[in-house]
Amino acid sequence: MTGLDRDTLLRFLEERLGLDPAEIDDETPLFSSGLVDSVALAELVVYVENESGVSFEPEDITLEHLDTVGRILRFVATRHGR
């Protein structure tokens, strides 16, 4: 497991989802703004699971956990801390 950090996540957003990392900070809404659609978000979730070893349970699939880079990283950190 490689773990997941901000740079890795931003690289994925850029290379795989075509987003400009210069326009994204930790609190930029991804899904609620329409920047990322549901197909891309599904891909992002699976990528995060593979990179971090953290699994999203059905109740974890929420905007609170997924809508920004910061929220995703905090969710993963919280799960790793368990």
Partner 1 sequence: MGKAESTEGILVLGPPRSGTTLLRRLLDAHPRIACPPETNVFAACGRFLRSEKTADGVGIGVLEGLEYAGFSREDVLSRLRELAFSFHREYASRQGKARWAAKTAFDAFYLPEIEALCGDRCAYVCLERHGLDVACSIQELCEKNGAYLRELHDYVVRYPAVLEAFAHAWADLARGIRAFAASHPEHSFLLRYEDLVAEPDATMQKLMGFLGESWDPEFTSKALSSRETVGLGDWKTYGRSSIDASSVGRWKKLPRYTLARLAEICNPVLELCGYEPVRVEPEEPPEAARRRYQVGLLLQRLKGAGRKDREPGPEPAPEE
In this complex, which beta carbon is closest to partner 1, that of residue 35 or of residue 73? 35
21: which 2 tokens? Answer: 């990392």
Q: Coil, strand, or helix at residue 25?
A: coil
CB of 25 to partner 1, least distance (A): 19
Convert residues 21-60 into a mask of x (bound to partner 1 by CB under 8 A) and - (unbound).
----------xxxx--xxxxxxx-xx--xx-----x-x--
Q: Are 75 and 60 in contact (CB under 8 A)?
A: yes
- CA–CA dist 43, 29 (Å, integer): 17
Alpha-carbon span 12 to 6, nearest angstrom: 10
Q: Does 11 bind partner 1 (CB under 8 A)?
A: no
Binding site for partner 1 (CB under 8 A): 15-18, 31-34, 37-43, 45-46, 49-50, 56, 58, 61-63, 66
